[in-house]
Chains A and B, each alone.
Chain A
Amino acid sequence: MALLQVNLVSVQYDERKVLDEVSFEVQESTITALTGKSGSGKTTLLGVISGLLQPNEGTVLFMGDNIFRWSDLKRSRFRNRDIGFVFQFFNLFSDISAYDNIAFPAILNRKTRNLHSRIMELADYLQITNILDRNPTTLSGGERQRVAIARAIINEPKLILADEPTGNLDTATANDILKLFARLRDDKGISIIIATHDERIVKASNVQYHIEGGKILENDVKKEKTKIITKKQQAMSVVKIKKKK
């Protein structure tokens, strides 16, 4: 079973359809690249996958469960425990230390046993041990992104959603972050969905989905083949559930 199934998801703002019957799957221990122009709906799709944005139509199944049938509390727990977020602008709390930023989701998850040793282990893994007590505003972009990644994986999630994670970094640092994502996939078995313009990420990913005009085009990098998924194909494993208005 796929870790995540997005089935015929449509999102509409006023008259404008941002996502139009989008369907795709994410397998475990893979990196999936979501590409597309600015405003194509990549970030909106991440919002839907994380359960923060209810689609007008369609379903999102996480390990077979429709996340929009869950209560807000359960969806919040799902975001906290099963998903990690990494953003282009890092989005760290600027009034607390890097250490406290990393600890925040764990405290929220009430998973505080051995928290210090877990943070130190992660810091060692991500090579940020020497900056833990510093305020995020005093860190470089690469350091901040590493802190953000540490925060994203402190609760050992199954999936990381990354929105343009290298968009604000220089080439060398971006390469480091990419290698880090690959390590997370290989070492910890985490699946990563990355919304990006970065060709290097596309090349490093297992699967690429290109969004255009609210629709998704599949580009399996390994097969080097792009095709438009037909509605018939999209209906392969899902039942379209129209959202009651």
Chain B
Amino acid sequence: MVQYIIRNAKLIIEEIVKNIWKALLSSFGIILLIAFLVLYLSLRDSVTNFVEKRLFGSLDINEIIIEPKAKTGEATLSYAINSIPAEKVKAIRKMNNVASVYTVTCINAATKIKIELLGKSRAPYVPICGISQQFIKDKVPGYKSFRYYTNEPVPVIAPQVALDMFNNFAAINNLPLFNEDTLKGLPITIIINTPKGTETKKRFEIPAVIHSFSTLFNLTGIVVPDTFVNKIAAQYAAETKSDQPILYIRLYAKVKDVKKLPEVTKQIKSMGLAVTSLDEVASKTNQAMSIIDGFSIFVGFFLLLLTVISIFNSYLIIIYNRSYSFSLRRILGVSKFRIIMTFMVEAAFIGAVYGFIGYTAGAYLIKAAGAKLSSLVPALSGIGLEPVGMNVCAGLVLFSIAISSLSALIPAIFASNMNLFKALSKQ
């Protein structure tokens, strides 16, 4: 058996080398298809990891975020929102299935952070929320220093995505990439302007410093100690004499039993509040992924069809060219089954080799794309593009073998049934 396989492999390699251009053309589709699948699967994997790390990573399976509801029904940070009334917070705390509730106090005003880096100054709008030190206990390294002292810069926990933005900035300016440690302690300025429509205009500029980066919070903005937020709110109320609250709160609640999550979510929603849980994040992510999947399946199917047709046609030509050899073998006593198997083994071998080439090409492309992604598409910075692993490679090679063999099956049957004497007399 081993001898048979070695002999066949030798013959197949000789046959491929002899017809290298034909073989390349016939199986180019396989390389294209497998490379596309590697690209798609790698991209999907990387995006999924990114989403999981950035969104799901900020929440445990049994955690939910409770926010005031905007008119559209979505949670919002717009200025016209309502805060969560105190009695509702109390009611949530008293729920049987809720283990703990942490309050996040957010500033309801136009807030910016001003960053000066390498001689350039930027001041993007960024939401600011305050949390207690207890909330991040054992979750953020150096949480003990996350404390606000009057007359000292405010410690700021920035979302992980901010680090990617810094690195994006570095990549554009041909600078070495930053890591967390190099940016820790970077002085920034928090700017708070009074909301539009308020009678008394007020602008606060408070020095701050980057404390750390974290994926812990499902927030688009930065996190500061709640004592600072409360102080600003009090100062704002005193200086503007405004009765419009500058703060609103959102709650992080932990459900005792994950099975009760839908029930708790339903109860809180019935209180007129917006709830974000892993379920909801997952469903939104899945919705987006299903669109990507749909498109990819369409492209993949199209490539698959092209591949199958090209292999099928190429094999018909190969069979015509080799009809003499196969007819002679049949006449000398080789069975139909063995003729079919010869073709199938050959096609499988080509499928394996080209499947691997396809994987290598796809992996190379995804690595090249990964290196350029942050500078080409800043919005996608932070997505670490990595080719799919060797287990997927094995799967794709098997898939390639199956496609190649099945595409060659009908031509192989045709070869086994050809008019042998006619084929011989053709030579």
Interface size class of B (residues with CB under 8 A): 10 to 19
A91, B425: Cα distance in complex, Å: 9
Residues 329-368 of chain B, each 1 if its beta carbon lies under 8 Å from chain A, else 0? 0111111111000000000000000000000000000000
Is the beta-carbon distance between A47 and B328 smaller than 8 angstroms? no
A137 at the interface (CB under 8 A from B): no
A235 at the interface (CB under 8 A from B): no
A76, B333: Cα distance in complex, Å: 4
A81 at the interface (CB under 8 A from B): yes
A147-188 with Cβ < 8 A to chain B: 151, 163
Nearest B residue to A77 via CB reads: B333
A104 at the interface (CB under 8 A from B): yes
Chain B contacts for A50, CB-based, 8 A:
331
Q: A52-B331, A79-B331, A85-B331 are in contact. Are A47 and B420 (CB under 8 A)?
A: yes
A87, B333: Cα distance in complex, Å: 15
Q: A91-B328, A93-B325, A93-B328 are in contact. Are A79 and B333 (CB under 8 A)?
A: yes
Residues 68-95 of chain A, each 1 if its beta carbon lies under 8 Å from chain B, else 0? 0000110011011100010101010100
Shortest CB–CB separation between residue A180 and chain B, in angstroms?
20
The interface centre, meaning the residue of A50, A76, A87, A163 with most chain B CB atoms within 10 A of its CB, is A76
A46 at the interface (CB under 8 A from B): yes
Shortest CB–CB separation between residue B113 and chain A, in angstroms?
76
Is the beta-carbon distance between A72 and B336 smaller than 8 angstroms? yes
Is the beta-carbon distance between A73 and B337 smaller than 8 angstroms? yes
Chain A contacts for B298, CB-based, 8 A:
none
Is the beta-carbon distance between A52 and B427 smaller than 8 angstroms? no
Q: A91-B328, A91-B427 are in contact. Are A47 and B333 (CB under 8 A)?
A: no
Is the beta-carbon distance between A108 and B333 smaller than 8 angstroms? yes
Nearest B residue to A78 via CB reads: B333
B424 at the interface (CB under 8 A from A): yes
Is the beta-carbon distance between A43 and B332 smaller than 8 angstroms? no
B172-211 with Cβ < 8 A to chain A: none
A105 at the interface (CB under 8 A from B): yes
Chain B contacts for A104, CB-based, 8 A:
332
B295-347 with Cβ < 8 A to chain A: 324-325, 328, 330-338
Chain A contacts for B419, CB-based, 8 A:
53
Chain A contacts for B328, CB-based, 8 A:
91, 93
Q: A89-B427, A91-B427 are in contact. Are A76 and B421 (CB under 8 A)?
A: no
Is the beta-carbon distance between A81 and B424 smaller than 8 angstroms? no
Is the beta-carbon distance between A52 and B421 smaller than 8 angstroms? yes
Chain B contacts for A44, CB-based, 8 A:
421
Is the beta-carbon distance between B325 and A52 smaller than 8 angstroms? no
For the complex, would chain B's binding face be called helix, strand, loop or mixed by DSSP majority?
A: helix
One of A47, A53, A80 near B332 (C-beta < 8 A):
A80
A109 at the interface (CB under 8 A from B): yes
Nearest B residue to A46 via CB reads: B421
B385-427 with Cβ < 8 A to chain A: 419-421, 424-425, 427
Is the beta-carbon distance between A109 and B337 smaller than 8 angstroms? no
Is the beta-carbon distance between A47 and B421 smaller than 8 angstroms? yes
Shortest CB–CB separation between residue A50 and chain B, in angstroms?
7
Nearest B residue to A88 via CB reads: B425
Is the beta-carbon distance between B337 and A108 smaller than 8 angstroms? no
A73, B335: Cα distance in complex, Å: 5
Shortest CB–CB separation between residue A76 and chain B, in angstroms?
4
Chain A contacts for B424, CB-based, 8 A:
87, 89, 91
The interface centre, meaning the residue of B332, B336, B338, B419 with most chain A CB atoms within 10 A of its CB, is B332
Shortest CB–CB separation between residue A236 and chain B, in angstroms?
29
Shortest CB–CB separation between residue B206 and chain A, in angstroms?
86
One of A43, A53, A91, A109 near B333 (C-beta < 8 A):
A109
Is the beta-carbon distance between B332 and A79 smaller than 8 angstroms? yes
A140, B425: Cα distance in complex, Å: 19
Nearest B residue to A47 via CB reads: B421
Nearest B residue to A43 via CB reads: B421
Residues 214-232 of chain B, each 1 if its beta carbon lies under 8 Å from chain A, else 0? 0000000000000000000
Chain B contacts for A46, CB-based, 8 A:
421
Is the beta-carbon distance between B333 and A105 smaller than 8 angstroms? yes
Shortest CB–CB separation between residue A68 and chain B, in angstroms?
14
A178, B419: Cα distance in complex, Å: 29
A50, B420: Cα distance in complex, Å: 11
Is the beta-carbon distance between B420 and A52 smaller than 8 angstroms? yes
Q: What are 22 sample pairs from A and B whose C-beta atoms fall under 8 A apart?
A: A43-B425, A44-B421, A47-B421, A52-B330, A52-B331, A53-B419, A53-B421, A72-B335, A72-B336, A73-B335, A73-B337, A76-B330, A76-B335, A77-B333, A79-B332, A80-B332, A81-B333, A85-B332, A91-B324, A93-B325, A104-B332, A105-B333
A residues touching B (Cβ–Cβ < 8 Å)? 43-44, 46-47, 50, 52-53, 72-73, 76-77, 79-81, 85, 87, 89, 91, 93, 104-105, 108-109, 151, 163
A72-B337, A91-B324 known; 16 new pairs, CB 8 Å cut-off, are A47-B420, A73-B337, A76-B330, A76-B334, A76-B336, A76-B338, A79-B331, A80-B332, A81-B333, A85-B332, A91-B427, A105-B332, A105-B333, A108-B333, A109-B333, A163-B421
